[in-house]
Amino acid sequence: MTTFAQYFTGQDEGPNAQSSGALPSIEYDLVRAHVFASLVTLVISVLFGIAVATKFSFPEFLGGHGWLTWGRLRYNHTQGIFFGWLGNAFLAFFYYVVPRLANRAVLGRRLGWFLFVIWNFAVVLPGWVLVAAGFTQPLEWAEFPLVVDAFVVLAFVLMVFEFVLPILKARLSDLYVSGWYVIGGIIFTMLAYPVGNFVPELVPGARGAAFSGLWIHDAVGLYVTPFALAIAYYVIPATTRRPIFSHFLSMVGFWLLFFMYPLNGTHHYVYSAIPMSAQKGAIAASAYLGMDVILVVTNLLLSLRGNSATASKDVPLRFVWFGVVAYLVVSLQGSVQALMPVNRFIHFTDWVIGHSHLAMIGFASFIALGGIAQLVVLAPRNGPHIDGRRSYDCGPGRGAGLGVERTMDRFDPYSRKLLAGPHTLGTSYSRGLSSLLDLSCDRARVVRGKPISG
């Protein structure tokens, strides 16, 4: 039986570990390549976002060329975060964690580099160029054109061979929960992606919108969430050197996620032409999902019991801890926003925008940064670490810790604007046009702050 110590203890032996019998081979070159690609695409995607936020207040910013219009920049911002930043960050972590969880190497080095090329040079880069040139789909979280979508599906098929098959060759009864989330995320996304990207092009009207709505939520629930939780469930015991609080609760949370999340997407169309039974079913699933998130977060936070000193000093753990707390907040926010009395007021406000940004920044990005920080600590450049020191114990670590603190500080004033402004706006919608006109000046000040707050 594969023990917890085999997962999380022992020093990395470098690429030739498998021959020595200590650990299976880990493709550190692919880890570094995906980490580098994730950080580059993160910077570019953030610049897209800053340009979009600036155009709210200064529409003439960057001129009126078609390539630089608000809509195309916004599409490239969201898809860049989704595929470029988070996709590469997740893949980097897979190349490190799958050999350790499955106790065998990924399927192939050449396949890995082919997947790297497909992901970055057949999906992210051409997707950006085609969207900027005006070739796109008018679908949320599915803005890249169909030719790019085909390569996305191909990439997930390759992930099945590269990551899922080695895990399935291990004894599933001994598999740690991070491995289950990797399997579930890859398989379910491979199946759900065509539903949200190809089917709406073939099915007209409200039915097509319903399929699109399913993918809007599946993109977060079946792609972002499983992979982020795989990182959280790995980093927490790896840094504390203690097992998670309950393996049973972790598996309950896993199965509830994949049973409940695919049903949620229709709650984006409350009070729409979609059958009311589908809307109410999605609202009920959203409530059950909130309960599941409480269970998962409780299990993760209880795994940190007695380790407050470690959480305050260990940089990867600090990123992951904040991401787990943000996961609880944003999930409960989504469950409440799906309720009809609440949705009536917030549907056309910044509550929805804030919800999505808190999910992608506060939850997914913080946990992804924690995973990357863990890889920077563990992955050797020219061989194994022999002194046992954490690379952030000195200056770079203090800088990373300071960045976390400053980012947390930034969330507080921005969240106050986020919570107060949309509520006022939603109330004004219900009161009529005169209230909206009275609100416009205050609303303009909030919009001007968006480029600064990020």
Q: Which of 10-24, 175-189, 244-258 has the lowest mean pLDDT?
A: 10-24
pLDDT digits (tens, 9 = 90+) for 83-96: 999 999 999 999 99
CB atoms within 10 A of CB 413: 11
Residue 144, pLDDT > 70, answer yes
Structure tokens belonging to residue 18: 């498998």
Exposure of 452 by Cβ count < 10 A (0-12 exposed, 13-18 middle, 19+ buried)? Answer: exposed
User: What is the pTM for the complete model shown?
Assistant: 0.85
Q: How far is CA 11 from the centre of its chain?
A: 29
Residue 13, pLDDT > 70, answer no
What is the Rg, in whole angstroms, of the alpha carbon atoms belonging to the chain? 22
Distances (CA, A) of 38 to 98, 243, 366: 19, 29, 13
Greater pLDDT, 383 or 364: 364
pLDDT digits (tens, 9 = 90+) for 245-278: 999 999 999 999 999 988 888 888 899 888 899 8
Greater pLDDT, 14 or 329: 329
Greater pLDDT, 438 or 232: 232
Distances (CA, A) of 153 to 77, 95, 241, 265: 21, 19, 37, 20
With tokens 């959480």, the residue in question is 311
pLDDT digits (tens, 9 = 90+) for 220-231: 999 999 999 999
Count the domains in the chain. 1
Q: How far is CA 87 from the centre of its chain?
A: 8
Task: Name residue 421's amino acid.
Answer: G
Q: Where are the alpha helices (DSSP H) in 198-314?
A: 199-202, 205-218, 225-240, 247-260, 276-302, 308-313
CB atoms within 10 A of CB 255: 12
At 377 the pLDDT is 63
List all residues 6 or more positions away from 107 whose beta carbon is below 8 Å from its beta carbon.
161, 162, 163, 165, 166
At 400 the pLDDT is 47
Q: Which of 42-56, 81-95, 143-157, 397-411 has the lowest mean pLDDT?
A: 397-411
Structure tokens belonging to residue 168: 């399935």
- What's the rounded Cα separation, in Å, for the pair 73 and 54? 11
pLDDT average, residue stretch 33-52? 96
Greater pLDDT, 205 or 90: 90
Confidence of residue 353 (pLDDT cuts 50, 70, 90): confident
List all residues 6 or more positions away from 72 whose beta carbon is below 8 Å from its beta carbon.
66, 131, 132, 134, 136
Structure tokens belonging to residue 316: 């990867």
3-state helix, strand, coil in the chain (%, to 5): 80, 0, 20
pLDDT average, residue stretch 158-166? 97
At 206 the pLDDT is 85
Distances (CA, A) of 122 to 110, 117, 119, 125, 223: 17, 7, 6, 7, 19
Q: What is the mean pLDDT of the chain?
A: 82
- Give the domain range for residue 401: 4-453
pLDDT average, residue stretch 218-247? 95
Residue 404, pLDDT > 50, answer no
Q: DSSP letters of 161-194?
A: IIIIHHHHTS-GGG--HHHHHHHHHHHHHHHHHH
CATH number at residue 269: 1.20.210.10
How wide is the angle at C-alpha 367 spanned by C-alphas 363 and 371, nearest 5°? 165
pLDDT digits (tens, 9 = 90+) for 275-332: 899 899 999 999 999 999 999 999 999 999 888 788 778 889 999 999 999 999 999 9
325 in Cβ contact with 296 (< 8 Å): no
Q: DSSP letters of 99-147?
A: HHHHTS--S-HHHHHHHHHHIIIIIIHHHHHHHHTT---SSTT--S-HH
Greater pLDDT, 54 or 397: 54
CB atoms within 10 A of CB 251: 13
